[in-house]
Structure 1
Amino acid sequence: MSSDSLFKFARIAGVASLVAVAGLLSACQVKPLYAVSTGVTQKLSQVSFSETGSRVGQEVRNQLIFIAGRGAGETKTPRYTVDLSVSSSIGGVLYLPSSDTSAAGRTTVTASFVLKEKDTGKVLKSSTRAVTSLIDFPTQEFAKYRAILNSEDRAAREVAEMVAADIAAALSR
């Protein structure tokens, strides 16, 4: 083969590969989850969340209401309901034998939810999410108590973000 024919072949192969890549990319339908055109933000604003029985559960619920309503509060006319169950646990991880205490620990917040259409009761999504937040235990009791509360609040905010993303994804379908 001559160098001219190799050059033509390489050019034709390059153009063919560009056309193939352009065709593959045009089939891609990626959209932002919270894009206005998807209608997710409007659907999220129509979600109501069940009451929870604990302080940490209330933190998760409040954060979900804030995310879903974009800061506008609870919806007055819900189309969707979320049955929410939240639990938390605290445990030590660095045991100090000299004082029989832990110097550090972790807080785990677990949220289980079921997203339903209010009118039909049809389940759209159910899942469980968990977040672990690490914590240092100070020697002073009040400081230790505040550190635990702050750790629970951090984990509650994070698990609420995960649950809200799951709900938004389910409503975008």
Structure 2
Amino acid sequence: MSSDSLFKFARIAGVASLMATAGLLSACQVKPLYAVSTGVTQKLSEVSFSDAGSRVGQEVRNQLIFIAGRGAGETKTPKYTVDLSVSAGTAGVLYLPSSDTSGAGRTSVTAAFTLKDAVTGKVLKSGSRSVTSLVDFPTQEFAKHRAILNSEDRAAREVAEMVAADIAAALSR
């Protein structure tokens, strides 16, 4: 094979691969999850959330209502319902033998949810999300209690965002 025919072959192969890549990329359709054209924003505003059984559960619920309603509050006529179960716990992880206490800990918040059609009761999505938030334990008891509450609130906000994303993805289908 001469260098001229080799150059011609390489050029044809390059053009062919460029055309194939362009064809593959044109088949990709990436849309924002909350795009108006998908209708997810409207569907999210029609979601109702079950009552909470704890303070952390209420934090998760409140955040979900805020995300779903875009700050407008909970819908009066839900087309979808979410059964929500939230658990939380804090444990020490950095043991200090000199004072027989923990200097740091981690708070875990887990939210299990089931998204249903309000009319038929058909389950559209169910799942569970968990978030761990780290916390330092000060020596003063009130400050320690306040640090744990703040850690629970941070984890509750994060787990609510994950659950909201799962619900939005299920409603976009």
Question: How many pairs were matched up?
Answer: 173
Alignment of 1:1-173 (within 5 A): 1-173=1-173
TM-score, normalised by the number of residues in structure 1: 0.98
Q: Which runs of 4+ in 1 moved over 4 A?
A: none
CA distance in 2 between partners of 1:38 and 1:120 (Å): 23
Residue 4 of structure 1 and its aligned partner are, at CA, apart by 2.2
TM-score, normalised by the number of residues in structure 2: 0.98
CA distance in 2 between partners of 1:3 and 1:127 (Å): 61
Letter in 1 for 2:24: L
Q: Secondary structure at the match of 2:113?
A: strand
Give the share of equivalent positions with the same residue, in percent: 87
CA distance in 1 between partners of 2:9 and 2:92 (Å): 68
The one-character-per-residue Cα deviations of 1:1-53 (angstroms, maximum 9, x if unpaired) are 22221221111111100111011111112211111111111100100000011
The one-character-per-residue Cα deviations of 1:37-93 (angstroms, maximum 9, x if unpaired) are 111111001000000111100000000000001111111111000000101001000
Residue 137 of structure 1 and its aligned partner are, at CA, apart by 0.2
Residue 122 of structure 1 and its aligned partner are, at CA, apart by 0.2
CA distance in 2 between partners of 1:2 and 1:61 (Å): 72
Letter in 2 for 1:37: S
Residue 98 of structure 1 and its aligned partner are, at CA, apart by 1.8
How big is the alpha-carbon RMSD for the aligned residues of Structure 1 and Structure 2? 0.8
